[in-house]
Amino acid sequence: MSHKLAIIGFGGMGGWHWKNITEKIDAITVKGVWDIRKEAREKAEENGLYAYGSLNELLEDSEVDLVTVATPNDFHKPLVIDCLRAGKHVICEKPVALNSSELREMMEVAKETGRLFSVHQNRRWDKDFCIVKEIIGKEILGKPYFIESRVQGSRGAMHGWRGHKVNGGGMLLDWGVHLIDQLLIMIDSPVVCVDAHLQSIFSEEVDDNIKLFLYFENGISALLEMATNCFINHPRWHVSCTDGTAVVQDWSCQGKMVQLATDAQMEWADDIVYTEAGPTRTMVPRPAFTMKELELPTVQTDWSDYYKNIVAVLDEGAELIVKPEQVLRVMTVVDTAFESYRRKEGIHCHI
């Protein structure tokens, strides 16, 4: 079946949806765009798209069965609800809403109307994440126990509307929802404690530098870090497992795994060893022959699989990959992180 899609909000990400769908998804045609800015509507027309004169005109277009909402975050809830009530299937950009109670309202309307409702958590298809998911899922390095996931920039304040509270700006709602979603997908266990350190170094109204600790019921812990003022980056991922360590350096996915060599037996001497940092037993470097270096697993990923799944759900009743219930967990962690920082303490929970 062929589907006609309209995009609400034709800025950076709205343009990406249009391009990605047009190039890669045969079953969806992007028909038109609604944007409150005239220049954005003109850009749509220049690219051969129909520019709606109002939101209502889009909602009343019976040819359109699917809508992608890609506006600033504070408009997501009302727009998604309007589209669902108009009988459209809806894909909403992340963060789906400003908090979990807004998302619950949206989910209620999706249930009432029986329309498809999903969130564009596209970073589930990022190559770096899929590599780490493979290492953890297959226990390639034994049992994972601590995962560090970081995105680090150095451009200072949050940009444009992302710097304003009223628009749902701030790093936790911007990148936080991606990094949290990735962890919740990868670790099959409830979050039992959230400890958040949110700083506003350059953005007056919102958080722009974050350290977020998540503790899972199965004993795994994670540190998520998002920075706008980092000039010497840590690796994108650092994964500690019982039999070794994995590092994915950056989005280009350079990196390696180092594992214990199973055939290399060695005895640790009981004596203190003198290193450049003085005497130590615990931190004596392990001899090279007791370790082996492995290449990171190879994975095939494609962001367009998100929309391929949407088509499969609509046409063949396939299972939706990005489910609102999963995103509700993400938004509940976000709410708890804000509360943790407000109270300046870790919050026990079961999410």
Ligand X SMILES: NC(=O)c1ccc[n+]([C@@H]2O[C@H](COP(=O)([O-])OP(=O)(O)OC[C@H]3O[C@@H](n4cnc5c(N)ncnc54)[C@H](O)[C@@H]3O)[C@@H](O)[C@H]2O)c1
Q: How far is the CB of 219 from ligand X (least distance, A)?
A: 31
Q: How far is the CB of 208 from ligand X (least distance, A)?
A: 15
What's the farthest any 2 CA atoms get from each other in the chain?
80
Q: Is 182 in the site for ligand X (CB under 6 A)?
A: no
Closest residue by Cα to residue 108 from 93, 97, 121: 97
> How many CA atoms lie within 13 Å of 165's alpha carbon, on the beta-carbon side?
5
Number of residues that bind ligand X (CB under 6 A): 24
Residue with structure tokens 């990923």?
A: 301
How many other C-beta atoms can be found within 10 angstroms of the C-beta atom of residue 269? 9
Nearer to ligand X, 16 or 213 (CB): 16
Asked if residue 72 has a cis previous peptide bond (ω within 30° of 0), the answer is no
Taking CB under 6 A as the binding criterion, the range among 24-32, 36-44, 103-111, 228-236 that sits at the site for ligand X is 36-44
Taking CB under 6 A as the binding criterion, the range among 68-76, 97-105, 189-197, 294-302 that sits at the site for ligand X is 68-76
Q: How far is the CB of 9 from ligand X (least distance, A)?
A: 3
- For the segment 101-120, give every residue that binds ligand X (CB under 6 A): 120
d(CA 315, CA 287): 57
Helices and strands per DSSP (H, E), number in the chain? 10, 17
d(CA 128, CA 147): 13
Q: Is 37 in the site for ligand X (CB under 6 A)?
A: yes
Q: Is 8 in the site for ligand X (CB under 6 A)?
A: yes
Q: Is 346 in the site for ligand X (CB under 6 A)?
A: no
Nearer to ligand X, 124 or 141 (CB): 124
Q: Is 71 in the site for ligand X (CB under 6 A)?
A: yes
Buried b (16+ CB within 10 A) or exposed e, 224-259: bbbbbeeeeeebbbbbbbeebebbbbeeebebebbb
Q: How far is the CB of 30 from ligand X (least distance, A)?
A: 15
How many other C-beta atoms can be found within 10 angstroms of the C-beta atom of residue 166? 12
Q: Is 35 in the site for ligand X (CB under 6 A)?
A: yes
Q: How far is the CB of 125 from ligand X (least distance, A)?
A: 10
d(CA 128, CA 251): 6
Nearer to ligand X, 124 or 133 (CB): 124
Nearer to ligand X, 156 or 160 (CB): 160
- For the segment 123-162, give every residue that binds ligand X (CB under 6 A): 160-161
Nearer to ligand X, 33 or 314 (CB): 33
d(CA 246, CA 192): 25
Please state the φ and ψ torsions of residue 150, each to the nearest 5 degrees: -135, 145
Q: Is 44 in the site for ligand X (CB under 6 A)?
A: no
Binding residue (CB under 6 A) for ligand X from 12, 48, 285, 317:
12
**Positions in the binding site for ligand X (CB under 6 A):** 8-14, 34-37, 40, 70-73, 75, 93-94, 120, 122, 160-161, 174
